Amino acid sequence: MRSSGEIVTVAGMNLRPRELVSLEDPTGRLIAAECAGSAGRNVSVAMLDRGTVAAGARVVATGRIAQAPSGRALLGRVLDGLGRPMDGLGDLQGVRWSPGHAEPPHP
Protein backbone atom coordinates (compact mmCIF):
# COMPACT_ATOMS: atom_id res chain seq x y z
CA MET A 1 0.00 0.00 0.00
CA ARG A 2 1.23 3.49 -0.87
CA SER A 3 -0.50 6.71 0.21
CA SER A 4 -0.44 10.04 -1.61
CA GLY A 5 -2.73 12.56 0.07
CA GLU A 6 -6.30 11.30 -0.09
CA ILE A 7 -5.51 8.59 -2.67
CA VAL A 8 -4.14 5.22 -1.55
CA THR A 9 -2.67 2.64 -3.92
CA VAL A 10 -3.50 -0.93 -2.95
CA ALA A 11 -1.64 -3.85 -4.53
CA GLY A 12 -3.12 -7.27 -5.24
CA MET A 13 -6.86 -6.54 -5.04
CA ASN A 14 -9.48 -6.89 -7.73
CA LEU A 15 -12.16 -4.21 -7.20
CA ARG A 16 -14.98 -2.90 -9.34
CA PRO A 17 -15.04 0.83 -10.16
CA ARG A 18 -16.67 2.78 -7.28
CA GLU A 19 -16.68 -0.27 -4.97
CA LEU A 20 -16.40 0.65 -1.29
CA VAL A 21 -13.52 -0.65 0.81
CA SER A 22 -12.49 -0.25 4.43
CA LEU A 23 -8.90 0.64 5.32
CA GLU A 24 -7.69 -0.07 8.84
CA ASP A 25 -5.75 2.72 10.56
CA PRO A 26 -2.97 2.01 13.10
CA THR A 27 -5.51 2.03 15.99
CA GLY A 28 -7.80 -0.50 14.27
CA ARG A 29 -10.45 2.07 13.25
CA LEU A 30 -11.96 1.45 9.80
CA ILE A 31 -11.75 4.26 7.25
CA ALA A 32 -14.19 4.27 4.32
CA ALA A 33 -12.72 4.53 0.82
CA GLU A 34 -13.92 4.06 -2.76
CA CYS A 35 -12.21 2.42 -5.73
CA ALA A 36 -11.20 5.26 -8.05
CA GLY A 37 -9.43 3.23 -10.72
CA SER A 38 -7.04 0.40 -11.41
CA ALA A 39 -3.90 -0.38 -13.38
CA GLY A 40 -3.07 -4.07 -13.53
CA ARG A 41 -3.04 -5.47 -9.99
CA ASN A 42 -2.81 -1.98 -8.41
CA VAL A 43 -5.99 -0.22 -7.37
CA SER A 44 -6.30 3.48 -6.46
CA VAL A 45 -8.81 4.14 -3.70
CA ALA A 46 -10.02 7.57 -2.61
CA MET A 47 -10.42 8.00 1.12
CA LEU A 48 -13.95 9.10 2.08
CA ASP A 49 -13.21 9.47 5.81
CA ARG A 50 -10.41 11.30 7.54
CA GLY A 51 -7.68 9.13 8.93
CA THR A 52 -4.16 7.81 8.58
CA VAL A 53 -3.14 4.60 6.88
CA ALA A 54 0.29 3.04 6.60
CA ALA A 55 1.94 0.44 4.41
CA GLY A 56 0.69 -3.02 5.33
CA ALA A 57 -2.69 -1.78 6.57
CA ARG A 58 -5.57 -4.23 6.27
CA VAL A 59 -7.91 -3.49 3.34
CA VAL A 60 -11.38 -5.08 3.21
CA ALA A 61 -13.56 -5.07 0.09
CA THR A 62 -17.25 -4.58 0.91
CA GLY A 63 -18.70 -5.66 -2.43
CA ARG A 64 -21.00 -2.60 -2.32
CA ILE A 65 -21.06 0.76 -4.09
CA ALA A 66 -21.88 4.03 -2.32
CA GLN A 67 -25.57 4.66 -1.65
CA ALA A 68 -27.49 7.72 -0.49
CA PRO A 69 -30.63 7.77 1.67
CA SER A 70 -33.81 9.59 0.65
CA GLY A 71 -37.26 10.08 2.12
CA ARG A 72 -39.29 12.12 4.59
CA ALA A 73 -37.50 10.52 7.54
CA LEU A 74 -34.46 12.66 6.66
CA LEU A 75 -36.24 15.95 7.39
CA GLY A 76 -34.43 17.62 10.27
CA ARG A 77 -31.64 15.02 10.36
CA VAL A 78 -27.92 15.77 10.04
CA LEU A 79 -25.88 13.28 8.00
CA ASP A 80 -22.27 13.05 6.93
CA GLY A 81 -21.25 12.63 3.28
CA LEU A 82 -21.74 8.86 3.51
CA GLY A 83 -25.33 9.11 4.79
CA ARG A 84 -24.43 8.31 8.40
CA PRO A 85 -26.34 10.19 11.13
CA MET A 86 -24.29 12.80 12.99
CA ASP A 87 -27.09 14.25 15.13
CA GLY A 88 -27.27 11.64 17.89
CA LEU A 89 -30.88 10.74 16.99
CA GLY A 90 -30.12 7.10 16.21
CA ASP A 91 -30.10 5.07 13.03
CA LEU A 92 -32.11 6.05 9.96
CA GLN A 93 -35.52 4.37 9.76
CA GLY A 94 -37.94 4.37 6.83
CA VAL A 95 -35.54 5.68 4.19
CA ARG A 96 -34.93 4.45 0.67
CA TRP A 97 -31.31 3.84 -0.33
CA SER A 98 -30.34 4.64 -3.92
CA PRO A 99 -27.01 4.24 -5.72
CA GLY A 100 -24.75 7.25 -5.15
CA HIS A 101 -23.62 7.04 -8.79
CA ALA A 102 -26.59 6.80 -11.13
CA GLU A 103 -28.09 8.35 -14.21
CA PRO A 104 -30.13 11.47 -13.41
CA PRO A 105 -33.90 11.10 -13.67
CA HIS A 106 -35.63 12.17 -16.87
CA PRO A 107 -36.97 15.74 -16.54
Model pTM score = 0.74
85 confidence band (pLDDT: 50, 70, 90): very high
pLDDT tops 60 at residue 1: no
Closest CA to 49 of 9, 22, 11: 22
The predicted-structure confidence for 54-66, as pLDDT tens digits, reads as follows 888 999 999 998 8
pLDDT at 75: 95
Burial class (CB in 10 A: 0-12, 13-18, 19+), 36: middle
The predicted-structure confidence for 6-40, as pLDDT tens digits, reads as follows 889 999 888 888 999 999 999 999 999 999 998 88
